[in-house]
């Protein structure tokens, strides 16, 4: 496993796309988080919001949930789909014929890398957006640190989820379509249905989608982290099964 993980780390860090995705995630955070904070502050001012009613990390959380997770999720996806596209998967499996070990090594490397990138991004996003909340921002050091860590964990889990889906679909375009639907379209549609039919069922199901559960997790509801972890584990297990049972 150690040798397999070392090989996967070498592959991940030696391709340009990895660093482009990291740079893209940084730019997204630096652009979207301050804009979100300004919008939130203006809305609260217009509607007479209470001072200290918004967490300092709220803009960064929103940016992670609806923008950055797609960028770093694509990084996790390409760890597998690029191998199918270039047929390097045949060499990889020749070197590591135990397919479950290969998938677990990829997942571990992707998760560690994305977590290591996600935590500083979340900290920087919070630092640049919190002052723009003005008096409406509420800063609690322990809570903010916990939320920054949770953002890193959520991004790592989404990247593993994308890795599993990428192994199932095997094509980047198809994987992105599936991820976009799962992470954004499905929760949005469920929320619309919940509002249209005043349905607690649809509202409850929506809360257990990866994005909305991740939002709850990142804002302090730790138990919802288990929901996101379950999605990632299910996708990874499905990817392992697909890699074992299908020809490359």
Q: Out of 196-200, 225-229, 230-234, which region has the weakest mean confidence (pLDDT)?
A: 196-200
pLDDT averaged over every residue in the chain: 95
Cβ atoms within 10 Å, residue 248: 12
Residue 158's φ and ψ, nearest 5 degrees, are -65, -40
Give mean pLDDT, residues 172-193: 96
Does position 178 have pLDDT exceeding 80, yes or no? yes
Sign of CA pseudo-dihedral 73, 92, 233, 185: positive
In the chain, domain spans: 2-245
Give mean pLDDT, residues 185-201: 95
The CA angle 240-244-248, to the nearest 5 degrees, is: 105
| CA-based nearest residue to 216, from 154, 170, 141, 127 | 154
Does position 247 have pLDDT exceeding 90, yes or no? no
Return the structure tokens found at 101. 């070990």
146-168 confidence digits (pLDDT tens): 999 999 999 999 999 999 999 99
d(CA 124, CA 66): 17
Asked if residues 174 and 162 have their Cβ atoms less than 8 Å apart, the reply is no
d(CA 162, CA 184): 14
CA-CA-CA-CA torsion for 63, 186, 174, 70, nearest 10 degrees? Answer: 10
d(CA 203, CA 65): 18
87: left (phi over 0), alpha (psi -120 to 50) or beta: left
84-124 confidence digits (pLDDT tens): 998 999 999 999 999 999 999 999 999 999 999 999 999 99
Sign of CA pseudo-dihedral 208, 214, 219, 221: positive
Give mean pLDDT, residues 12-40: 96
pLDDT at 246: 84
Confidence of residue 48 (pLDDT cuts 50, 70, 90): confident
d(CA 166, CA 168): 5
Q: Give how far the C-alpha of residue 31 lies from the chain's centroid of Cα atoms, to the nearest Å.
A: 18
d(CA 26, CA 21): 9
Angle between helices 200-207 and 210-218 (to 10 degrees): 70
Give mean pLDDT, residues 180-195: 96
Return the structure tokens found at 50. 């209470």
Cβ atoms within 10 Å, residue 47: 7
- Global pTM? 0.96
pLDDT at 248: 64
Angle between helices 99-129 and 141-169 (to 10 degrees): 140
Q: Tell me the percentage of the chain whose pLDDT exceeds 70.
A: 100
CA-CA-CA-CA torsion for 167, 78, 163, 224, nearest 10 degrees? Answer: -150
d(CA 137, CA 50): 10
pLDDT at 57: 97
Give mean pLDDT, residues 1-16: 94
């Amino acid at each position: 496993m150690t040798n397999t993980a070392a090989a996967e780390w070498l592959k991940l860090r030696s391709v340009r796309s990895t660093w482009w995705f990291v740079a893209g995630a940084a730019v997204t955070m630096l652009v979207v988080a301050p804009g979100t904070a300004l919008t939130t502050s203006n809305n609260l001012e217009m509607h007479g919001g209470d001072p200290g009613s918004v967490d300092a990390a709220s803009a960064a959380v929103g940016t992670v949930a609806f923008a950055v997770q797609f960028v770093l999720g694509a990084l996790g996806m390409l760890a597998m789909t690029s191998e199918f596209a270039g047929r390097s998967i045949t060499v990889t499996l020749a070197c590591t014929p135990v397919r479950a070990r290969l998938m677990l090594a990829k997942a571990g490397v992707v998760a560690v890398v994305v977590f290591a990138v996600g935590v500083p991004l979340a900290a920087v996003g919070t630092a640049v957006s919190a002052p723009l909340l003005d008096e409406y921002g509420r800063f609690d050091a322990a809570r903010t640190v916990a939320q920054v860590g949770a953002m890193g964990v959520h991004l790592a889990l989404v990247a593993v989820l994308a890795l599993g889906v990428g192994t199932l679909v095997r094509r980047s375009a198809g994987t992105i379509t599936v991820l976009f639907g799962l992470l954004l379209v499905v929760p949005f549609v469920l929320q619309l249905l919940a509002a249209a039919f005043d349905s607690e069922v649809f509202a409850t199901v929506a809360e257990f989608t990866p994005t909305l559960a991740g939002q709850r997790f990142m804002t302090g509801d730790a138990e919802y982290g288990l929901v996101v972890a379950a999605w990632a584990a299910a996708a990874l297990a499905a990817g392992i099964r697909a890699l074992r049972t299908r020809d490359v």
